[in-house]
Each structure stands twice: as C-alpha cells, then as structure tokens.
Amino acid sequence: MADRIGLRQLRAFHAVMVTGSIGAAAERLNLTQPAISKQLSGLEHALDIRLFNRRSGRATTPTQEGVDYYKAIETTIAGLEDLAPIARTIRERGRKRIRFAATPPVMNSARLMSALHRFLAAHPDTHMSLEVRHRMDIEDWVAARQIDIALALLPSNHPALLAIPFVDTVAVAAMRPDHPLAQMDAVGPKDLAPHTVIFPSRQMLRSRIDAELERSGAVVTAQLESSSALTCCRMAAAGLGVTVCDAFSPTAFSPADLVTRKWTPNVPLTHGALINRAIDVGDTVQSLVDVLKEEFSGRT
C-alpha cells in the first residue's frame, strides 16, 4: 500500500517549486533545510516518482515528472493557503463565497466588469475570487469543483458540466488603423496572404480559422502565435501584423491603437457559463448567472 501523502509534504513541495531552492523554501515556511529535504523525500517515496534532480542530497531542479505533478495539483496546493480565509468567511453570518473563472478575453471585457459591479452592489456580503484560465483548462476546473461558475467559449461536451449560452458573436480581424487591411470593410482568408498574421494558439477559435484558410486555399507564410488573444491584439496594436480573434479582446484597446473589421466568412462564437451539474449552485450564484446573462446579451 502506498504511503499517505501529508499536507506538510505538499507545502514543502510547493514552497520549493515557488521559491526555487530548499533554502528559500525553509525560510518561507520557517523550517530548517533538513526538515524540507525530509518532507520532499517522504513525498517522493509516497508518490513513487522522482520530483527533483539531486546533487549532494539536495533538490536542485525539478524533473519533468516534478513539473507535471506540480501543474496537476497547483490549484490544490494553492488552495491550502485559503483554508483560514474560508473558515473566516463561514464564520461570518450571511457571508457567501463565489469562485469565478473566465477566459482572458471575457475577464477583461467591459460587459463582465459591468455585471460584477451590478451583482456586488446587490450582494455586498458576497466574497468573490476571480481566476483567469485558458479555454482548454477551464472545464476541468469546473468539473473538479474548484470553480463555482466559469465564462468561456461554448460549446462544451464535458458530461459533468451544464452550459448556459449568453451571447452569440463572430470572429473579427484586428489591426492598427494604419494597416493596409484597415481600409477594407471585411477581411477574408485570401486578404491575409501578403501580411504577417498573428494567430491565437491553444484555442477553439484557432481550429475554425485554420479550417477557413484551408477551405479558401489561402497560404499565410508570415505567422506569429500566442496562447492569449489579448497578447495577439497587443502585438497587432504594436504594428506586428493582423490578428483574427474574438470580439471581446479588442475592446481592451483604444480605437486609436487597434481597429476591427468583419471577418468573412462568419465564424460564429457563442460565449456562456459553465456550471457543475452535480452542484446546487444556490440563490447567490444563480443571481450572478442572471446578471451575467443580461449584461452579455444586451438585455439590461
């Protein structure tokens, strides 16, 4: 039978990964370096994997297994720091806590900020924690009950999740006002060929853009990529090229720096909420869902 994993071991592992050394981790946790080393050895024995490459008995750099394990449990370890605040929240009568996540484009949108302002004005005793997560990761967070509600690009085929559509939009092309394509009313795949194009990577939108490029036969040779649509827009605003992205991301920039044009043919994008089917969200979260839906659908 495998050894039991202890909270002290996880705290020591987290501290070493965050600080980069046993010495700094020991200082952070107010422990001795031998104590940290002992916790790490115990964790490696319990997991039956090597988390660090060792020299003279000390952890130096994490192994690939160590990095993968840290990524897999990062939120769990970080959540240990919330144990005391959560207890305080529970002790406060009538206090509610909502864990909310959104993809970067939605999190930085004016509509979300307006929705949060309305909701918190009506529910001043509610404590909210906000997390920015990429679309490829956000479903697992909600399914694991680490997030109460998330906003993201739909659809979702995850069996544990309920998807609630809020608003239908389309992809847009974004570029500086002095970019040649800014003179056009609409931009299509073949218009991109002579220009540097900044593509969003690790996103559902990317596969749809690639499908349109392949269907049109357009070949784009000068390409840049970023996993963040906001970074794509920032690069476009800096004059590095033109990007095709969601309709929310460009709204974070001044029209003097970034303009949008219709992307043709239309690439429909539906944004909405993701909630765990197994959880009774309660009146407070349901109220947040209602406000978000009103803001994003333009029914306020």
pLDDT digits (tens, 9 = 90+) for 182-192: 999 999 999 99
The answer to whether 273 touches 264, Cβ cutoff 8 Å, is no
For residue 215, how many C-alpha atoms fall within 13 Å in the half-sphere facing its CB? 10
Nearest alpha carbon to residue 48 among 72, 29, 69, 30 = 69
Q: What is the percent of the chain with per-residue pLDDT over 90, rounded to a whole number?
A: 43
Confidence of residue 122 (pLDDT cuts 50, 70, 90): very high
Q: Where in the chain is the domain with CATH 3.40.190.10?
A: 94-168+270-297, 172-266
CATH top-level class of 7-81: mainly alpha
* 13 CB-near residues (< 8 Å, 6+ apart): 39, 40, 43, 51, 70, 77
Instruction: Report how far residue 106's alpha carbon sits from residue 120's, in angstroms, rounded to the nearest whole number.
Output: 18
Nearest alpha carbon to residue 70 among 19, 115, 134 = 19
Q: Give the CATH architecture of domain 94-168+270-297.
A: 3-Layer(aba) Sandwich (3.40)
For the domain spanning 172-266, the CATH number is 3.40.190.10
In this prediction the pTM is 0.62
The better pLDDT of the pair 134, 56 is held by 134
Can the peptide bond before residue 265 be classed as cis, meaning omega within 30 degrees of 0? yes
Instruction: Report how far residue 230's alpha carbon sits from residue 105's, in angstroms, rounded to the nearest whole number.
Output: 6
Instruction: Report how far residue 161's alpha carbon sits from residue 279's, in angstroms, rounded to the nearest whole number.
Output: 10
The answer to whether 167 touches 116, Cβ cutoff 8 Å, is no
The better pLDDT of the pair 277, 74 is held by 277
Instruction: Report how far residue 270's alpha carbon sits from residue 163's, in angstroms, rounded to the nearest whole number.
Output: 11
Q: Where in the chain is the domain with CATH 1.10.10.10?
A: 7-81
The answer to whether 166 touches 296, Cβ cutoff 8 Å, is yes
Average pLDDT, the chain: 86
Confidence of residue 93 (pLDDT cuts 50, 70, 90): very low
Name the helix (H) or strand (E) containing 296.
helix 282-297
Confidence of residue 94 (pLDDT cuts 50, 70, 90): very low
Instruction: For helices 7-19 and 22-29, give the axis angle rounded to 10 degrees.
Output: 120
Strands, sheet with 149-154, edge to edge from the N-terminal-most edge strand: 126-132, 96-102, 149-154, 268-276, 161-170
